[in-house]
Amino acid sequence: QNVDVRGVASQIRTNMDHPKRLLLLQYLYGIAKSDGNVDKSEIDLIRTIARHLGISAKDITSIEEPFNTGSANPYKVLEISKDCSNSEVKKAYRKLAIKFHPDKIGDLGEGPNKQAKERFLQVQSAYEEIKKTRGFK
């Protein structure tokens, strides 16, 4: 069945705030991976939906990373390059911690709140891994 992806995404974008749209994107990746095999057409469709939802390429990569590899590249999760300074690492962490904090999602029920917490923990874990590797506090 043909679905007007742009039209549906436009309605979602109008009625759902940014943190909830990020959570929706995370759900879409989870659904795609649920059968154990994510094919290119699924990823392409999710990326298209994400762009129509107004989600940045950096956010898409950050959310997609753990689903692609099993163990996420901490720099991609924090949307930074490996050669950035420690202060840039901290700044990126703070920005994403605010963006993905479970309190931003509100009370959408157990499932969405669990997903928000998982995403927030991915950001925290990436930050801790970089701090440990670089030896800063």
Predicted confidence (pLDDT) per residue in 46-72, tens digit: 999 999 999 999 889 888 877 775 567
| pLDDT bucket at 9, cuts 50 / 70 / 90 | very high
- pLDDT of 13 higher than 90: yes
Q: Give the side-chain half-sphere CA count within 13 A for 75.
A: 10
- Alpha helices by DSSP H, listed for 16-39, are 18-33
Q: Which domain holds residue 97?
A: 5-134
Q: What is the pLDDT of residue 107?
A: 66
Compute, in degrees rounded to 10, the torsion defined by CA atoms 26, 106, 114, 63. 20
- State the total domains in the chain: 1
CB-neighbour burial class of residue 78 (10 A; exposed 0-12, middle 13-18, buried 19+): buried
Residue 40 has pLDDT above 70, yes or no: yes
Distance CA 78, CA 52 (A): 22
